[in-house]
Chain A
Amino acid sequence: MEKESFILDRLLPVGTVVVALVALWYVAAVFLNAPFERDTAARNGTTITFAELLPKTMAQQRPVLPAPHQVIAELWDTTVNKAVTSKRSLVYHAWVTLSATLLGFAMGTVLGILLAIGIVHNRAMDRSLMPWVIASQTIPILAIAPMIIVVLNAVGLSGLMPKALISTYLSFFPVVVGMVKGLRSPEQIQLDLMHTYNASSAQTFWKLRWPSSMPYLFTSLKVAIAISLVGAIVGELPTGAVAGLGARLLAGSYYGQTVQIWAALFMAAAVAALLVIVVGIAHSAVLRRMGARA
């Protein structure tokens, strides 16, 4: 077989899609921002040619859809040009959200694993708990998040914890479902083998069920970390939080700062991608250590 070429096989297809998307975006920006320019011109009793209109649609203060370069300029300005401790730095806001995400993800993972262990080892828990676990996810998070925040505020919990708890609420679910499946994935013959050794439940767990469940765990974790971030951002919305990507989104929409909104959105997407990549790296590192085929 031919050697894989990174440029031809990876960069070219991805690059083509990116270029196409950016082009489409510019067209959409011009199209969506043009009415404002025409109205302005009409109010001033002048007419505006397309050639005059074109650059203006890409340089508005509060465009309906900011052009890509505006968003990039805003991202650059709020990350590189501001001290990371400044309230105007997007890095600062991203860190605020990220810390809640990571805390919530950690708690959700632990909770999910513990519940899965209970469900797999105890019939009563399997029957009583699983329906509730599923029911918990049928409630829209947007409906329940404000209540959680309010209730927790009433008992004196504010700041990081309520947001992290919403992340936990979202992220434990894929972990439970994946781990129940993973811990039940050993074949009968592998379990019989443990039985012939008169292995204890704990030994069977650590030497068979746990290693068997690793592929399932990491697949779940990839989903869990991404929705943890969503949870943390949603948790910042109802409180009118002063910091965090959610707060940036909210403030942006209050003041019609669409460029700020889009910058925050892109930051959130970048953070999510980064988190999923990190989990992915951990995944392949663990599988490699477990002797998976290269």
Chain B
Amino acid sequence: MDSRTAASVVCAQNLGLTFGTADGPVVALTDVNLTVDKGDFVSFIGPSGCGKTTFLRVIADLEKVTSGTITVNGMTPEEARHKRAYGYVFQAAALYPWRTIEKNIALPLEIMGYSGAEQKERIARTLELVNLEGFGKKYPWQLSGGMQQRASIARALAFDADLLLMDEPFGALDEIVRDHLNEQLLKLWARTNKTICFVTHSIPEAVYLSTRIVVMSPRPGRVTDVIESTLPNERPLDIRESPEFLEIAHRVREGLRAGHSYE
């Protein structure tokens, strides 16, 4: 293991994953080489079915690779999971319907053995972070889909994991809320120095948020381009009209087009 592997948060080498299904094997990922360093904000973008979710699930030890290697914090994904190295925001909110919003946020804290006072403090803090103050006592069905998704983000932020895996967390939100949460997420990232792996279908979102953008293509799922952002760390929303921003967005679009076949 070289020094880069040890220092990096995620390091995948020649990673491949094939699902054995009833209608034969499905190659979800092939030959993925990728390193995510500490403090990176990496976006994964690519057409539906290209393996973005699968790759995140591999990092989270929810799927096992079938070839190649991957390390998380220098460990196997399983060891990293045992150490509770990451928080995962699923594509759906996955709140437990019998728990109130604050109880949902408390779920990981209960499991990880935080004290009652600590739980209360963290619930209040994360609810404020996602602008859900006052909704702690409500049940999930009393909230809109977007509010539920924010609650699930709060749940992933409640405990101290340095790595945040987010699978299209803002996919179901309207543009304005999305902008707001993008801003909030950037602030959070800058303040906490977390490492974030973020799946999205939106080019502007990817460019606005990321330090690096991983462009993927399907059948079989692979990485076709990794784009380093040249944008400054300080990013007001109107940076999206700057030439630099449009330039990066253009590169991403080209990368997507190249990997996209119209058969």
Which residues of A are at the interface with B, using a C-beta cutoff of 8 A? 187, 189-190, 192-199, 203, 207-208, 211, 214, 290-293
A198-B82, A199-B111 given; A290·B98 CB < 8 A? yes
- In the assembled complex, the CB of A83 is this many whole angstroms from the nearest CB of chain B, namely 47
A198-B81, A207-B110 given; A189·B94 CB < 8 A? yes
**Contact residues in B for A199 (Cβ distance below 8 Å):** 111
A195 touches B110 (CB 8 A): no
Residue B188 is within 8 A (CB to CB) of chain A in the complex: no
Instruction: Name the residue of chain B whose CB is nearest to the CB of A286.
Output: B98
Per DSSP, chain A at the interface is helix
Closest 4 CB pairs of A and B: A290-B98, A291-B139, A196-B88, A189-B94
A189 touches B88 (CB 8 A): no
Over the window 98-127 of chain B, the binary record of Cβ atoms lying under 8 Å from chain A Cβ atoms (1 yes, 0 no) is: 111000000110111000000000000000
Per DSSP, chain B at the interface is loop
Residue B90 is within 8 A (CB to CB) of chain A in the complex: yes
A211 touches B108 (CB 8 A): no
In the complex the two chains form, what is the Cα distance from A45 to B258 in whole Å? 110
Instruction: Name the residue of chain A whose CB is nearest to the CB of B98.
Output: A290
- In the assembled complex, the CB of B99 is this many whole angstroms from the nearest CB of chain A, namely 7
A195-B62, A197-B112, A291-B139 given; A189·B92 CB < 8 A? yes
A291 touches B100 (CB 8 A): yes
Residue of B61, B87, B110, B111 with most chain A CB atoms under a 10 A cut-off: B111
Residue of B87, B90, B96, B141 with most chain A CB atoms under a 10 A cut-off: B96
A190 touches B98 (CB 8 A): no
Number of A-B contacts (CB under 8 A): 51
- In the assembled complex, the CB of B126 is this many whole angstroms from the nearest CB of chain A, namely 15
Q: Using a Cβ–Cβ cut-off of 8 Å, how many residues does chain B contribute to the interface with A?
A: 24
Residue of B81, B87, B98 with most chain A CB atoms under a 10 A cut-off: B98
Q: Can you identify 25 A-B contacts, CB atoms within 8 angstroms? A: A187-B94, A189-B90, A189-B92, A189-B94, A190-B94, A190-B96, A192-B88, A192-B94, A193-B88, A196-B81, A196-B87, A197-B84, A197-B107, A197-B108, A197-B111, A198-B84, A203-B111, A207-B107, A207-B110, A207-B111, A208-B96, A211-B96, A291-B99, A291-B139, A293-B141
- In the assembled complex, the CB of B100 is this many whole angstroms from the nearest CB of chain A, namely 7
**Contact residues in B for A193 (Cβ distance below 8 Å):** 88, 90, 94
**Contact residues in A for B99 (Cβ distance below 8 Å):** 291
In the complex the two chains form, what is the Cα distance from A195 to B87 in whole Å? 11
Interface residues of B in 138-154 (CB under 8 A from A): 139, 141
**Contact residues in B for A214 (Cβ distance below 8 Å):** 98
- In the assembled complex, the CB of B122 is this many whole angstroms from the nearest CB of chain A, namely 14
Instruction: Name the residue of chain B whose CB is nearest to the CB of A196.
Output: B88
**Contact residues in A for B82 (Cβ distance below 8 Å):** 198
In the complex the two chains form, what is the Cα distance from A207 to B110 in whole Å? 10
B62 touches A192 (CB 8 A): yes
Over the window 47-59 of chain B, the binary record of Cβ atoms lying under 8 Å from chain A Cβ atoms (1 yes, 0 no) is: 0000000000000
A207-B107, A207-B110, A291-B99 given; A195·B94 CB < 8 A? no
